[in-house]
Every structure is written in C-alpha cells, then in structure tokens.
C-alpha cells in the first residue's frame, strides 16, 4: 500500500471527522478504493470505532435506475435511513472504474431517485461527514493525466498543511461575514446578491477533503443578474459546457448551455429549490492548480468562484433567512483569473484572482 494512503486515512479520521471511541461509522466507497478502506478500517479498529461499509457501485446503480424506468415512483429506503440515523460519522470515498457509468440513465430518473432518497442524504449530513477522493485511472483519464501524476495531484491536495490554510482563508471569511452586498463580475457574468445574516464558513478539509474554499449561502430571493459559467460542469457522465443562468428575485428564469442543455434543464427541474442558489463559494486552494473535471477539487481552485443551484447547507443560513431546500446541489465555476472582480459592499476584495489582503493586490 502506498504510504500516502495511510496518511490520507489519518487525515480523514483525525482532522476531518474527529473519530472517537464508540463512534458508529459508515464508509461508502467503490471497490477500487479498497486500499483506503483497509487503512480506514485499521484506524477504526485502533480507535474502537464501529465501521459499516457500503459498496458504491455505479454499474449496479445504473442497472437499478434503468430497470426502474423513466416513470418509476421511488420510495425512501427506510433501512438506509435507519442506518444513517444511527450513525455518528460518514466517510464517502468518491472513485470508480468508469466516470461515465451513469451516462445512459435518463436524467429524469436520476432526479426522481434523488428526491426519494433526500431524507437519507439529510440524515447523512447530520453525521460528522467527510467526502474525499481516491485516485483511480478513470479519474486520471477524465483529467487527461497519467495515473501516477494524478495520484500525486490528489495526495498533494489532500496532504496540505490545514492549519496554515485555515488561517489564510480566515482573512476572506472576515471580509464576508457580516457583509451584505456581493457583486461578481467576469466576462459575461454580472451578478449581485445579498449574504446579509448568513454565515461564511471556512472549509479547511473537514466535510470536503481536499478542502480549500470559503463559502456561504446567498439570501434566497436576492440574486439578480446573469452568470456565465466558463468552466465545464461534469454531471452523471455528461459535460455541460457554457452554462448561463439568469436570475430574477433569486430564481433562475432563463437558462442555456452550449452543450448538454437538457442535462442542465433536468437539474433545474428537480424540484422548486433547484432553481435557487444554495451556495456561493470562493476557491482558495492554490495546490489545486488545474481543472480536473471533478468538483471536489475544481471548486477549491485558486482564482475561481462557484455557485451551486439547489440545497443550502443549514450551517450557512442565518436564523432570520429562509434556507433553500432541494434534493440537488450542483456547483458551477466561474474563472476569476482575468478581468474579474469580487466586490463586497462596494469594495473590491479580489481582482483578477488576487485578494485584497495579498501583497500583489493592486
């Protein structure tokens, strides 16, 4: 086993989910991540935690969803719900032998299934959860990289000094927390929103590993303007390119995409909440220096912002504000490296990717 696998497992257990003796843990991963599973089980045994492994197989998922058909009426799987309701911690390892495995499942079926399983997702988010990545040849291929180069990329991003990163990101949190108006401009993008009353969180590798962003929730009906997402969105094996969303009173009233617009439409039509933003995030992890078609990494890239349609994380929404609820949460990225600004309450806090608190800000 590569020694970085055990280091990765230690970061998950000690930093991300803060595993305690007696914790009931669910580890959900595909077979290809077996080494990481073994390392995690070793730590569970060492710490006196109780692991249950779920097998995430997109081949099986595809077979199930296609057989259920386009008109399927899915039920909430009560046994999966009971499992997560009794769990203290969850580790989801993203991976798999073929990232396009779900490419021939009708988007409507995927949407219907997501709606039915939302209580399960919600219960999982009530545990100490961590979503992480195991490097596989399929994900290397998606990124256009050799497997070894991709392994280095993943383990470098995961192996960051998280204490130092937290401090760096905290400077951006200070700028957003307590602020009201945010305006983001870049190319065809010009969007305004309020974040008043909502909390800005510092993602330093807890729920997401790698971490490396600060994020908050827009006030639900405050979003106005147009966003052109100039980086692709890779979704259920399909690539949405050039997505463009227009917001009025927070709601997406117009949308288009240069490629796979129907997939975008499927996402927006999932439920009422999937037409509202649930997240505004600012990518600050400069160890992630390339786009790899993998949102867990891409949204953390330096010089980017991302917005997610769909579910808002409860911890970002203030008591006075309505939380946007949805079975969806789809992040989309805007490149901020050139001719771009982020303004907070009228003041430019980032220009062309450089923050106001950095030396080369002008």
The residue (of 130 and 201) whose beta carbon lies closer to a copy of itself is 130
Q: Is 187 in the site for a copy of itself (CB under 8 A)?
A: no
Span near a copy of itself by CB under 8 A; candidates 59-67, 133-141, 168-176, 336-344: 59-67
List, in order, residues 6 or more apart from 218 with CB less than 8 Å away.
182, 193, 194, 195, 198, 250, 277, 279, 280, 307
Q: Is 63 in the site for a copy of itself (CB under 8 A)?
A: yes
The residue (of 26 and 243) whose beta carbon lies closer to a copy of itself is 26
The residue (of 46 and 258) whose beta carbon lies closer to a copy of itself is 46
Min separation Cβ 113 and a copy of itself, Å: 10
The residue (of 17 and 145) whose beta carbon lies closer to a copy of itself is 17
Residues 70-129 interacting with a copy of itself (rule: CB under 8 A): 72-75, 77-87
Min separation Cβ 235 and a copy of itself, Å: 21
Q: Is 219 in the site for a copy of itself (CB under 8 A)?
A: no
Residues 9-48 interacting with a copy of itself (rule: CB under 8 A): 22, 24, 26, 29-31, 34, 37-46, 48
CA angle 93, 155, 307 (to 5 degrees): 65
Min separation Cβ 310 and a copy of itself, Å: 23
Give residues in contact with a copy of itself (CB under 8 A).
22, 24, 26, 29-31, 34, 37-46, 48, 50-57, 59-61, 63-69, 72-75, 77-87
């Amino acid at each position: 086993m590569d020694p970085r696998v055990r280091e990765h497992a230690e970061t998950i257990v000690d930093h991300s989910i803060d595993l305690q003796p007696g914790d009931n843990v669910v580890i959900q991963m595909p077979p290809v991540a077996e080494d990481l599973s073994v390392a995690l089980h070793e730590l569970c045994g060492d710490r006196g935690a109780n692991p249950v492994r779920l097998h995430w197989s997109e081949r099986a998922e595809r077979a199930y969803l296609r057989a259920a058909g386009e008109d399927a009426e899915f039920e909430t799987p009560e046994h999966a719900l009971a499992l997560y309701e009794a769990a203290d911690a969850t580790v989801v390892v993203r991976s798999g032998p073929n990232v396009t495995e779900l490419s021939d499942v009708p988007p409507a079926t995927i949407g219907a299934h997501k709606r039915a399983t939302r209580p399960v997702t919600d219960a999982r988010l009530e545990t100490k959860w961590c979503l992480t990545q195991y490097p596989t040849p399929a994900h290397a291929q998606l990124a256009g990289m050799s497997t070894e180069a991709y392994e280095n990329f993943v383990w470098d991003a995961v192996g960051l000094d998280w204490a130092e990163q937290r401090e760096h990101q905290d400077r951006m949190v200070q700028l957003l927390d307590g602020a009201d108006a945010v305006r983001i401009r870049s190319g065809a993008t010009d969007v305004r929103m309020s974040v008043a009353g909502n909390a800005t969180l510092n993602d330093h590798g807890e729920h997401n590993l790698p971490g490396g962003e600060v994020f908050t929730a827009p006030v639900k009906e405050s979003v106005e303007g147009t966003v052109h997402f100039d980086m692709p969105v890779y979704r259920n094996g399909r690539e949405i390119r050039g997505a463009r969303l227009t917001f009025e009173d927070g709601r997406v009233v117009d949308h288009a995409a240069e490629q796979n617009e129907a997939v975008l439409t499927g996402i927006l039509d999932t439920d009422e909440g999937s037409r509202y933003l649930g997240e505004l995030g600012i990518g600050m992890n400069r160890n992630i220096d390339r786009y790899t078609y993998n949102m867990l990494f891409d949204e953390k890239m330096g010089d980017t912002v991302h917005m997610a349609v769909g579910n808002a994380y409860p911890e970002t929404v203030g008591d006075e504000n309505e939380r946007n609820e949805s079975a969806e949460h789809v992040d989309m990225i805007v490149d901020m490296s050139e001719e771009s600004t982020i303004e907070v309450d009228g003041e430019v806090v980032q220009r062309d990717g450089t923050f106001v608190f950095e030396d080369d800000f002008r």
